[in-house]
A and B are shown apart, each in its own frame.
Chain A
């Protein structure tokens, strides 16, 4: 099983600041099948990024993804009030079980 470790656990930032979230895989992913999901309280997750760096439909361009191998990053260039939420990375498509990181909470400082 591929274990995904997200850091930090909590990120305290102000609106307008840049957020950098990390996701490290326990083994190299031969295909960059990494997705990032945002989850707000009482809501289902929604996809932001797939294939490590492709933005999903309707996702603002302040969200970007990068990385390969074992290290992946989600960057939010300038935080908007609606971006404060929990973010999960996921590896999918090539190695069962599909696994999620434990999540990073982005909170208002």
Chain B
């Protein structure tokens, strides 16, 4: 059974930093591109970042480029999101999502809540 379990979400002050983690199991992690997607509670979905299977390529939404860094450790079946210079508008539930070979998201985690507030 595929499982994606996010962690690391907390309350942090504006300007602060945070690292989210996503532990993957039930599939061959290093075969797949992985993504972070966020959702402000009660609002829509926003793609944040992706990383290819071998960390050879990373991409970011304009809203986070230069502040967030996606990475992965295939030996630990884990995905990460380093979030720096956090803003109140970064407050959201952050999901990790697995990209199927056909490019859509076939599995999502349950999300971890990041709250940026003074």
Tell me the A residues contacting B by CB distance below 8 Å: 33, 35, 37, 43-47, 50-51, 56, 88, 90, 92-93, 96-103
Contacts and interface: CB of A to CB of B under 8 A. Distances in A.
Given A44-B95, A45-B45, A103-B44, A50 B109 contact: no
B44 A88 contact: yes
Nearest to A57: B106
Contact of A97 (B61, B95, B100): B61
Among A43, A97, A98, A100, max chain B CB count under 10 A is at A98
Contact of B104 (A92, A96, A102, A103): A92
Interface residues of B, number: 20
Closest 8 CB pairs of A and B: A93-B103, A44-B108, A50-B104, A35-B104, A100-B45, A98-B47, A102-B44, A97-B61
16 contacts: A33-B103, A33-B104, A44-B108, A45-B95, A45-B108, A47-B106, A56-B104, A56-B106, A88-B45, A92-B104, A92-B105, A93-B103, A96-B59, A97-B61, A98-B50, A100-B45
Nearest to A49: B104
Interface string B24-51: 0000000000010000000011110010
Given A99-B47, A100-B45, A103-B44, A92 B108 contact: no
